[in-house]
Amino acid sequence: MSRPTRASRPLGRGLPRTILLAALALLAGCAAAPSRNPLATWVPSPNYDIRRPVLIVLHFTDQDSVQQSLDTLRTKNSGGPVSAHYLIGSDGHIYQLVADELRAWQAGPGRWGTITDLNSSSIGIELDNNGHSPFAPAQIASLLRLLDDLTERLHIPRTQIIGHEDLAPGRKNDPGPLFPWKQLADAGFGMWPQGALVDPPAGFDPWLALAAIGYPLEDRPAAVVSFHHHFRGIEGDTLDAEDLRVLYALSQQLVAAPSTQAIP
């Protein structure tokens, strides 16, 4: 191996160690320094926190490969730039594209309960799936591990996990009727009717129950389609007797545990 010339020697060669360490410390301090407005006098307060997500939104990629999805989520596209915090491959590999505390462009227009700025309020997780195939077991296993981490570390309620189509009925259809919501519920994530389903009492309003869960009702048939995908794995845009039983069970769970309600 040839000896490096003076011009090619590593930066810092020959500098006193104390000077080099001081310079590195200064650079590190600058990198971590908070943003300051030059128009104002900086009088720091310790009374603050980072913005915290309160919801997790699940998507399918509807693309042909993880690599294609990574390219889409990191570049400008014909429809504009999009991103997500995480992407999970069918093999279970987890990729992170955006830091948890930052706002990824993943949810778009929509509403869940009273939450209208979903990008600012949620973590987005993309699943490598074309929307027409079952989700791979390894992928769901990784999703459950990731959900456990995010809900624990970011203090997101374990019930606050929804699909993209739940917040944007009619505009989005992911993760679709093939997504295993019951498997997530068995692991303790998301809302799911518990116990035996019974007929609701006279006067029960299913639309009020849908709204209480979080569904926007500007387009009621579209909201029913999203509800059917999520809670029954079927198509259809009209409510039937089984839907009413499911909605009554969910509404009773909200009454019993209001802290898990989707409307903050």
Q: Encode pLDDT of 194-249 as tens digits.
A: 999 999 999 999 999 999 999 999 999 999 999 999 999 999 999 999 999 999 99
pTM above 0.85, yes or no: no
What's the pLDDT score for residue 95?
Answer: 96
pLDDT beneath 50: ranges in the chain: 1-15, 20, 23-32, 260-264
User: Per the residue annotation, which of 101, 126, 165, 242 is the catalytic one?
Assistant: 126
The answer to whether the peptide bond before residue 175 is cis (omega within 30 degrees of 0) is yes
Torsion angle of the four alpha carbons 109, 134, 138, 57, in this order, in degrees rounded to the nearest 10: 10
Considering the chain, what percentage of its residues have pLDDT values greater than 90? 73
Torsion angle of the four alpha carbons 101, 103, 105, 111, in this order, in degrees rounded to the nearest 10: 100
CA distance linking residue 158 with residue 188, whole number of Å: 7
CB 157 within 8 A of CB 141: no
What's the pLDDT score for residue 137?
Answer: 98
**CATH 3.40.80.10 in the chain, residue ranges:** 55-186
What's the pLDDT score for residue 40?
Answer: 77
126 is catalytic: yes
Q: Which CATH class is domain 55-186?
A: alpha beta
Q: In sequence order, which residues have a C-beta less than 8 Å from that of residue 238 and are 6 or more positions away?
A: 221, 224
